[in-house]
Amino acid sequence: MVAVIAGGVGARHGVVFKSAETIEIARKVSHVVFDKTGTLSRGELSVSAEEYLSKSSSSAASLALGLTINSKHPVSTAVAANLQARGTQPAPVEDVKSVTGSGMEGAWNGASVRGGNSRWLAVQTVPQVASLLSQGCTVFCVTLGEELLAVYGLDDPLRPDAKSVVSELQKRGIAVSLVSGDDDGAVQKVGCELGIPSPQVRSRCSPGDKQKYIKAIMDHKSKIVLFCGDGTNDAVALAQASIGLHMNSGTDVAQSAADAVLVRPALTGILVLVDLSRAAFRRIVFNFSWSFVYNIFAILLAAGAFVNARIPPQYAGLGELVSVLPVILIGLQLRWFKRR
């Protein structure tokens, strides 16, 4: 009963649980691992700088838009929105497909068009790219064949409650890590702003790298790890973690792999999850303890262990109320739960 009530209370506070096990183990979380884009940050990227290295900047912009216009990835969406706002017309890029953790690729006039992070395209040493990386920008590059056509630098503001949530988790003795597929400059910048220790900040992580990082933590003294992410490339990590927590704005693939969902765009739901789990556990322990003590007493009374105590038969049925009523009331009290 407590688990059912806790599920309703969690939903009221913006956290939806998929199983009672999540409520049971959340109180023991010892490590929280965050993704960056769309999780600690709003996922509302905007282009802050752009460089064109081809002879025709309009042609390069057209190819970039043709490649990104139908993508749902936050970086590609931001680049496409920026180009459309300037009136750029998309080039007819065909057979566009996503390359998880790297970018996307397609074909134009028989040549390969690729867009993604600088490492995948092996252009991180190009001066224009290196400059944006050193500024902590998220960098999106576009190439045609082996030629680098365009470089876009993007900024993504942090969620307003990110710093306070990370700080509160650390005050409670819960370790916090940041793992992201983004470039090192952008990830280190966020880690520094939030006060996350440098050894616990990992950049340029593929989906497999995120899974391995979480598994390594869980293998050490059987720690309970909560991973919070939103994208398709987070699905493996969400499934690997003891508790996978999905942001409401993420993809359906990631949501299906998660154990709980934050239905509001607020990271405070993590604290709600932990506090609600502790509150529910205290009530479960009390209910079991009360039932144990009461039933031991009732058995001894029925066996005649208390020779001077006797309950008239017509009132004996009231004993069931004494057993059940406190359990119900303690469970219902959870409805007035408030995060501490």
Active site residues: 35
Q: Which amino acid is at 270?
A: I
- Coil, strand or helix at 208: helix
Number of other residues whose CB lies within 10 A of the CB of residue 328:
12
Provide the angle, in degrees to the nearest 10, between the axes of the packed helices 318-333 and 268-302. Answer: 170
Q: Which residues pair with 108 in a beta bridge?
A: 111
Three-point CA angle 67, 252, 236, nearest 5°: 90
Residues 305, 311, 316, 319, Cα dihedral to 10°: -70
φ, ψ (nearest 5 deg) of residue 106: -155, -165
Label residue 101 left, alpha or beta by phi (over 0 means left) and psi (-120 to 50 means alpha). left
The two structure tokens encoding residue 38: 């769309």
Instruction: Return d(Cα 61, Cα 59) in angstroms, integer.
Output: 5
Task: Find out whether 142 and 64 touch, Cβ atoms under 8 Å.
Answer: yes
DSSP 101: T
Instruction: Return d(Cα 229, Cα 302) in angstroms, integer.
Output: 56
DSSP 43: S
Task: Find out whether 287 and 2 touch, Cβ atoms under 8 Å.
Answer: yes
The two structure tokens encoding residue 288: 């079991």
